[in-house]
Amino acid sequence: MGIIEDTIFTVYRDAITSGDMNQAEHTIDLVKLLRQKIDVHGFIDPANPELQKVALTGNFFEPFPYRYDEERSIVVFGNSAILLTKQENHFFRLLTLHETGGIDVKPITHDMIKKHMWDERNVSGNALRIAIKRIREKIEVNKEKPQVLINYYNNGYLFLGKRLIDETISHE
């Protein structure tokens, strides 16, 4: 990614993290406008003249596509197949039910996670943090700067994923 894309994503991520949904929506509007200008008028990147058009939206403003085989506890992001433990698989199922595309915000609250993972049992906040840490360790490319499961200030988390339903994971 370039400087512009990095800056826009940082502003978007910071807005979501701080709970400023108005700023997050403005950021998405900016990306849509830039995408439209690129598509209509074209754009030649002087640093990469062989590229006739540059996608400014990238993967950060569109949900991350993934495939998921719940029965076999496998999730695939790009070309990486990830084997989930029983608990991680249970947690990932919750994430799939609450995909967020950036505009259609579906927060996953701490209470939702606790109820889904442990039903009515009383568990510590530490158990919740460990569950989130473990799933992030498997699905995030950069654990220090989450881009798939991100904090949603005072609301829980957002899962920026889009399940590819038409494709199945090979049983080879």
Give the pLDDT score at 57.
36
Under 8 Å between Cβ of 27 and 8: yes
The winner for highest mean pLDDT among 44-53, 134-143, 144-153 is 134-143
Comparing 52 with 124, the larger pLDDT belongs to: 124
Phi, psi dihedrals of residue 40, rounded to the nearest 5°: -80, -45
User: Which residue, 88, 103, 80, 109, is CA-closest to 21?
Assistant: 103
List of domains in the chain: 3-59 (no CATH), 64-163 (1.10.10.10)
Instruction: Please give the share of the chain, as a percent, with pLDDT higher than 70.
Output: 76
Q: Determine the straight-line distance between the first and last CA of the chain, rounded to whole angstroms.
A: 35
pLDDT tops 70 at residue 148: yes
Residues 6+ apart with CB under 8 A from 61: 8, 9, 12, 28, 31, 102
Tokens encoding 56: 């400014």
Query: Which pair of structure tokens corresponds to residue 88?
Result: 């991680």
Nearest to 66 by CA among 134, 166, 153: 166
Q: What is the pLDDT of residue 21?
A: 84
Tell me the per-residue pLDDT of 100-124, one tens digit each, with 9 for 90 and over. 865 567 889 999 999 999 987 888 8
pTM exceeds 0.85, yes or no: no
Question: Which of 33-42, 58-67, 72-81 is predicted least confidently?
Answer: 33-42
Average pLDDT over the chain reads: 78
pLDDT(9) > 70: yes
Query: Which comes out higher in pLDDT, residue 69 or 61?
Result: 69
pLDDT of 141 higher than 60? yes
- Residue 15's pLDDT is 84
Rg (CA), the chain: 18
Q: What are phi and psi of 165, to 5 degrees?
A: -80, -35
Say yes or no to pLDDT of 52 above 70: no
